[in-house]
Amino acid sequence: MTNDDFRLDNPMLVRWEFASEERLEKRNQIFRQLLEGISAEEYLFQAIAEFAPSRVLEVGCGAGAMAQRVRDELGAEVIAVDTSERMVELTRDRGIEAHVADVQELPFGDAEFDCVFAGWLLYHVPDRDRAIGECARVLRRGGRFATATLADENMSDLWDFLGTPRERNLSFSSTNGAEQLERHFARVEAREAEGIAVFTTAEDMRQFVAANMTRAHLAAAVPQTLDEPVKVRTHHTIFVADKAA
């Protein structure tokens, strides 16, 4: 396999990863247990809530938890899309209207939504400029696009601890996301969500690494026991992009 096979925007890898919810839910479950402080999901939700939208689209909805929260807590009409049939099925099980669709070619007309949001999606998309353009297209004038992504250094302490430091150059990250959004939106704001995840057991670390999208093989490098808790810095960015009024 080449390095390109392990790129987060490799369509075959993305299809395989999200054909089932198991690995995604395992990662999220462990991460929530280990995180100290406010989660990046909360920052993303607040970026949507403060806008008080009536009609909302989530692209890359996963199992639909955030779509359901936006509907239940904000009283908004929510529609969701994902390329994974399984994720769409899980989202529909929550009572959310969901469709199998690609963010690079959204099946909606112009200016249909007040707000579009995407959590940790754009670095999985081969043509990000087209995808961002599609999100802008379906927004009304003055509408909002909120999207969360990773910093290149997110959780780098974990890989350092395992003796396999990595240089990550995400295609849409805390560093390069703003310039990509500014091509389509009048105002772009970055909100940083930094925290600490504390691994207290080797088993938690092993399971978390085993569920990693591109580094699952490093679970074998996790020691049998941890001599002390391992603190890992986390860094996410929520971009808030508003369309011209």
| Domain residue ranges of the chain, discontinuous segments joined by + | 3-152+167-194+235-242
Q: What per-residue confidence (pLDDT) applies to 2? A: 39
Coil, helix or strand for 120?
Answer: coil
Q: Round the average pLDDT of the chain to a whole number and report it.
A: 93
For residue range 86-103, what is the model confidence (pLDDT) as tens digits? 999 999 999 999 999 999
Q: What per-residue confidence (pLDDT) applies to 148? A: 98
Looking at mean pLDDT, say which of 2-6, 32-36, 175-179 comes out highest.
Answer: 175-179
Q: Is the pLDDT of residue 1 over 70?
A: no
Q: What per-residue confidence (pLDDT) applies to 19? A: 83
- CA dist 86 and 111 (Å) reads 28
Burial class (CB in 10 A: 0-12, 13-18, 19+), 202: middle
Q: What per-residue confidence (pLDDT) applies to 156? A: 92
- Better-predicted residue by pLDDT, 46 or 214: 46
Q: What per-residue confidence (pLDDT) applies to 28? A: 86
**Alpha-helical segments (H) within the chain:** 11-17, 22-34, 40-49, 65-74, 85-93, 128-137, 156-161, 177-181, 202-210
pLDDT above 90 coverage of the chain, percent: 78
User: Are 236 and 170 within 8 A, CB to CB?
Assistant: no
- CA dist 214 and 27 (Å) reads 13
| Overall fold of domain 3-152+167-194+235-242 | Rossmann fold (3.40.50)
Q: What per-residue confidence (pLDDT) applies to 201? A: 96
pLDDT above 70 coverage of the chain, percent: 96
User: Are 201 and 148 within 8 A, CB to CB?
Assistant: no
The confidence band for 14, taking pLDDT boundaries of 50, 70 and 90, is confident
- CA dist 190 and 177 (Å) reads 9
Q: What per-residue confidence (pLDDT) applies to 15? A: 85
Q: What per-residue confidence (pLDDT) applies to 5? A: 41
For residue range 184-226, what is the model confidence (pLDDT) as tens digits? 999 999 999 999 999 999 999 999 999 988 888 999 999 999 9
User: Are 39 and 192 within 8 A, CB to CB?
Assistant: no
| pTM of the predicted structure, to 2 decimals | 0.91
Q: What per-residue confidence (pLDDT) applies to 99? A: 98
Coil, helix or strand for 19?
Answer: coil
- CA dist 209 and 217 (Å) reads 8
Amino acid identity, position 150:
L
